[in-house]
Amino acid sequence: MGNIWEIDFYSRPILDENQKKVWEVLVCESFTDIHAEPDSLFRFAKYCPSTQVNSVWLRTALEEAIQEANTTPVKFRFFRRQMNNMIAKACEDLGIPAQLSRRTLALNQWLQQRMEEVYPQEPGYQAATNPSVRMEVPLPQRLPDALIGQQWAFVSLEAAAFAEMPEWDIGFGEAFPLSMAGVQPETKIPGLIVFSPRAMPLAGWMSGLELANIKFDSKQTPQLLLETGVTESWILANFKDPATIAEAKSFETAKQQANGVHFLAVQSNPEAEAFAGFWLLQEPNLP
């Protein structure tokens, strides 16, 4: 897997001399490995005057970031749906794909740090939160029939066990350092394993999505959902059995106790030692 970069291009709680919001582009490298060193990840920040907020300015800033990093990412991730057109256009002009994603852990943490430590020190700082734009959330989709797992199981692993993840036999997957998610070595990390004779095609299909998190939804029909992108979700299972519903609720409780961290695994059968897919996930908290 090549370098994946995360982008945020949005106004900040800073006013210029004309009392207009200052904008900023943040670019940082994604966590893709359990042993990634946060200080070694590439970061780039640049303020943008409100009069120059457009895809041309953004493309130029991204070109500057690429030149500074001396490498070109294989794709960009971004979470602000309201910036979709501008970011997608700038990235398209660079010939690099950009995808809406809730999997922006490195960016979220950096943005939070700047909100607390950097912006308050800037002239024109205004203590306020940026309003978000509400967009309609589509209904969960059914998984393609060929990709529905035959079995699944709720499981858990101690966080310390993930130190050996680079040695596991994994076809498709992605991870991040658990220390950056505020997880202690003894914390139990809950997960879901999906078993399917078509494990590799299922894992390959999932790898093409921007996996966000697994969520138990009990509002109407109790369902286990796989959330992807920034609004999409897929029905992994429908529940009717009280015992299974209790398991799903326990999964949600364990996820909360692990700061939202959990995992999704795909295997051909319960006896398999290899994983067709394995992803560390975290319930996102996007600004």
3-state SS track over the chain: CCCEEEEEEEEEEEECCCCCEEEEEEEEECCCCCCCCHHHCCEEEEEECHHHCCHHHHHHHHHHHHHHHCCCCCEEEECCHHHHHHHHHHHHHHCCCEEECCCCHHHHHHHHHHHHHCHHHCCCECCCCCCCCCCCCCCCEECCHHHCCCEEEEEEEEHHHHHHHHHCCEEEEECCCHHHHCCCCCCEEEEEEEECCCHHHHHHHHHCCCEEEEEEECCCCCEEEEEECCCEEEEEEECCCHHHHHHHHHHHHHHHHCCCEEEEEEECCCCCCCEEEEEEEECCCCC
What's the chain's average pLDDT?
A: 90
Decide if pLDDT at 137 tops 70. Answer: no
Q: Which fold has domain 4-121?
A: Nucleotidyltransferase; domain 5 (3.30.420)
Which one has a higher pLDDT value, 109 or 145? 109
What value does the mean pLDDT take over residues 143-158?
82
pLDDT tens for each residue of 205-232: 889 889 999 999 887 789 999 999 988 9
pLDDT tens for each residue of 69-97: 999 999 999 999 999 999 999 999 999 99
Q: Output the pLDDT for position 129.
A: 57
Domain boundaries defined on the chain: 4-121, 141-282
